[in-house]
Chains A and B, each alone.
Chain A
Amino acid sequence: MPYYLLVHNIAMYPESQDDWIDQWREIRKNAHGDVEWVHSFFDPAEGNCIASGKQKTWNQL
């Protein structure tokens, strides 16, 4: 199983949960292969979100 680290800046906050899920679906298209989203790490200072594939902690990256 390949590991992915997907990093993105939040350009626009979605209004609803459905919008948010749709937004994520688009982001995930940037990753190749069958990515299973597991965890997100947020940087509240910068508003960045780092989403990862299989790994659950930074130490496993």
Chain B
Amino acid sequence: MAYPFPSDEWLQVLVEVLNSDERYAEVAKNWEGDMTVVIEPEDGEERQDLPVAVYVDLWHGKCRSSRLIDMENEELPDAAFTLRARIDHIQKLFSGQLDPIQAMMTRRLRVQGNMAYMLRNVPTVLDFVRCCQKVPIKE
């Protein structure tokens, strides 16, 4: 089954994947840090549902909480990491067409937060994206 993205349904399934994936639990066992991902429209595109933000609280291989943030009515949380990207780039990330490191290197994925911590935990970052890729997105 595929899920609309971004949506509460998609996020709910992602959390289930994160909390049940044994490989993620092992790889991310030392990770401590929540994250907000701001999803922006494509250049020149106007969408009523964007921008929107996805918040996930990732802690020792589990996702403790999550929510979709309506940026018109709510401020972004003060998360350890705030990532920003256009929706088409995020969809490419989640379909495996765009490498996460390459996306950061080319600023298609912009990162605010402790880059040193993120780089020390690249396998965790990559495995988080792998889990995201397990949730099919409805075209």
Is A bound to B?
yes
Q: Do A37 and B115 contact each other (CB < 8 Å), given the known contacts A21-B107, A42-B123, A44-B122?
A: no
Number of interface residues of A (CB under 8 A): 18
Task: State the B residues within 8 Å of A (CB).
Answer: 99, 101-102, 104-105, 107, 110-112, 114-116, 119-123, 126
Most buried by B among A13, A19, A24: A13
What are 14 A-B interface contacts by the 8 Å CB criterion? A13-B115, A14-B115, A14-B116, A15-B115, A15-B116, A16-B115, A17-B107, A20-B119, A38-B99, A38-B102, A39-B101, A42-B123, A42-B126, A49-B122
A10 in the interface, Cβ–Cβ < 8 Å?
yes
CB neighbours of B102 from chain A (8 A): 37-39
Give the complex CA separation of A12 and B116 in angstroms. Answer: 9
